[in-house]
Amino acid sequence: MTRTLIKNLAPLPAGTVTVAGWVETVRDQKKVQFVVLRDESGALQLVNPATRELGEDADDAQRAALAITEAISGLAHGTMVRVTGELKHDERVKLGGLEVKIAELEVVSEALPETPIADDSSLDKRLDWRFLDLRRPEAALIFRIQTTFEHALRTYWVDRDFIEIHTPKLMASASESRAELFELEYFEGKAYLSQSPQFFKQMAQPAGFGRVFEIAPAFRADPSFTSRHATEFTSIDAEFSWIDSHEDVMAMHEELLAAAFTAVVEKHGAEIEALFGVELSVPTLPFPRIPLAEAHEIVKAGGYEVPRTDGDLDPEGERRLSAHVKETYGHDFVFVTDYASGIRPFYHMRHEGDAGLTNSYDLLYNGTEISTGAQREHRVEVLIEQAREKGLEPEELEFYLDFFRYGVPPHGGFGMGLARVLMLMLGLGSIRETTYLFRGPTRLLP
């Protein structure tokens, strides 16, 4: 008989069904046994009238009933089973008002009786046994949300004629900062794992692609142990041509996020509230925009002075600015704009008439930076000069500078961390929870 997902049982009439999944709990009472079965779509109560012993004249049906009773008594948490039985609708059943009376039970794969993690296990312990940790309904929901979120991003872009590209993750030289690159042997030479598709998505602009996006891995050799850093992460990137300023990039960025949040709220909003206690809403447009200098003034007026010497906000400054925006504008997002050129890459365009500022922004969400975007400098002579200012040798950037020697339109884009967005969306404490298999300075397994 064809397996039915638990979530699809409710509309079915009473009758014979087959379900399959893993055992979550067993209540083995004297006269009746209850099993909570969970599959990828939900949980279901199974019931079995217990047969504890056989008489001398027992028939085949009674022997089969005893075998089922004994099998249920021996079920360990996590054991995979397939069950055929009679579906019954009963409002008294707390688990969805449904139960299945077991007629046949097949133990497909037994689990060891001692489970290595529990509900109160530490995050590191749960990550050691991630394949078991992911059985939690909350964990499964995270990645259903991720799927919906990414699909909505792609739909937005494809509907607007963006081209999806897949840039290489092996590079001959640094994309931005050699200090944060993983170096590896590559035949007779060296290669580096890409920390960003920045140069390659810019290459698509003189190629005439116009609008491109990518959702792909990126790597940072950053020995940070914070809740929002990883050495391998999924980066969401977009770049497009013929913009007037970074305002065009921000307008696209906020529309994109509004579309993605709409999809998540419509499909998962009720589950998110039930499992995470978060009443997720779609952000209104436009997002607030605050220049960096004004952001510092707001934070200082609130009693905190950012200690960083480079002029950027620190995490506490981001939290305080976001709290101000929430209180003042009722908004979870804020664009911080007009960053100083000293703290931005050489390829960010400077303000016309003020080379000390760039046409760039950071996007904060619920108190944490999730993205950096900018208008790029497309004039090769200016790029060369700005690279020299940053201590870079133009000769090392020849392959990149060549993009700009044969005609390139004004363009800009952004990069955004997927796991951070999901972490902040669901009110979780670490991107380890919203990364399928986390990689950090001390974690390469599983």
Nearest to 247 by CA among 18, 390, 410, 93: 410
**What is the percentage of the chain residues whose pLDDT exceeds 70?**
98
The whole-chain average pLDDT of the chain stands at 96
DSSP helix/strand/coil, 141 = helix
Confidence of residue 174 (pLDDT cuts 50, 70, 90): low
From start to end of 29-158, where are the E strands? 32-39, 42-49, 80-89, 98-109
The reply to whether domains 6-109 and 128-425 share a CATH topology is no
**Does 115 belong to an annotated binding site?**
no
The residue-averaged pLDDT of 209-215 equals: 98
**Does 417 belong to an annotated binding site?**
yes
Q: Which residues contact 367 (CB under 8 A, 6 or more apart)?
A: 318, 319, 322, 323, 424
Report the alpha-carbon distance of residue 95 to residue 25 in Å, rounded.
13
Confidence of residue 199 (pLDDT cuts 50, 70, 90): very high
Q: Annotate 355-415 with three-state secondary structure.
A: EEEECEEEEEECCEEEEEEEEECCCHHHHHHHHHHCCCCHHHHHHHHHHHCCCCCCEEEEE
Confidence of residue 58 (pLDDT cuts 50, 70, 90): confident
Report the alpha-carbon distance of residue 320 to residue 365 in Å, rounded.
12
| pLDDT for 194 | 95
Reply yes or no on whether the pLDDT at 277 is more than 80: yes
Q: Which of 56-65, 406-415, 419-428 has the lowest mean pLDDT?
A: 56-65
The H or E element spanning position 22 is strand 15-28
The residue-averaged pLDDT of 414-420 equals: 98
Reply yes or no on whether the pLDDT at 177 is more than 70: no
| Count of helix runs (H) and strand runs (E) in the chain | 11, 18
User: Do the bridges between strand 289-291 and strand 333-337 make them parallel or antiparallel, or are there none, so unpaired?
Assistant: parallel
Omega before residue 286 within 30° of 0, cis? yes
**Does 220 belong to an annotated binding site?**
yes
Instruction: Please compute Rg for the chain using Cα positions.
Output: 28
Check: CATH 2.40.50.140 for 6-109? Answer: yes
| pLDDT for 175 | 58
Report the alpha-carbon distance of residue 16 to residue 97 in Å, rounded.
17
- Residue 172 DSSP label: S
CATH number for the domain running over 128-425: 3.30.930.10
Reply yes or no on whether the pLDDT at 179 is more than 70: no
| pLDDT for 309 | 87
Amino acid type, 43: A
Give 196 or 173, the one with higher predicted confidence. Answer: 196
Instruction: Give 239-251 pLDDT, tens digit per residue.
Output: 999 999 999 999 9
* Residue 132 Cα distances to 116, 121, 129, 167, 274, angstroms: 9, 12, 6, 33, 22
Q: Which of 30-34, 54-58, 225-229 has the lowest mean pLDDT?
A: 54-58
Instruction: Give 346-365 pLDDT, tens digit per residue.
Output: 999 999 989 999 999 999 99
| pLDDT for 60 | 87
Reply yes or no on whether the pLDDT at 331 is more than 70: yes
- Residue 16 DSSP label: E
| pLDDT for 243 | 98
* Residue 422 Cα distances to 147, 150, 339, 418, 435, angstroms: 11, 11, 26, 6, 9
Reply yes or no on whether the pLDDT at 264 is more than 90: yes
Q: Which of 94-98, 158-162, 177-181, 333-337 has the lowest mean pLDDT?
A: 177-181
Return the bridge partners of 337, or none.
Answer: 291, 361
Sequence ranges of the domains in the chain: 6-109, 128-425
* Residue 60 Cα distances to 49, 63, 64, 145, 224, angstroms: 16, 5, 6, 48, 64
Report the alpha-carbon distance of residue 1 to residue 40 in Å, rounded.
19
Torsion of CA 241, 247, 250, 252, to 10 degrees: -50
Which letter, b or e, does each residue of 14-51 get, where b requires 16 or more Cβ atoms within 10 Å of its Cβ? eeebbbbbbbeebeeeeeebbbbbbbeebbbbbbbebb
| pLDDT for 180 | 85
Report the alpha-carbon distance of residue 54 to residue 76 in Å, rounded.
25
| pLDDT for 57 | 81
**Does 110 belong to an annotated binding site?**
no
Reply yes or no on whether the pLDDT at 294 is more than 80: yes
Cβ atoms of 43 and 95 within 8 Å: the answer is: yes
**Does 418 belong to an annotated binding site?**
yes
Report the alpha-carbon distance of residue 204 to residue 210 in Å, rounded.
7
Instruction: Give 104-135 pLDDT, tens digit per residue.
Output: 999 999 999 999 999 899 999 999 999 999 99
**Does 144 belong to an annotated binding site?**
no
Instruction: Give 62-106 pLDDT, tens digit per residue.
Output: 999 999 999 999 999 999 999 999 999 999 999 999 999 999 999
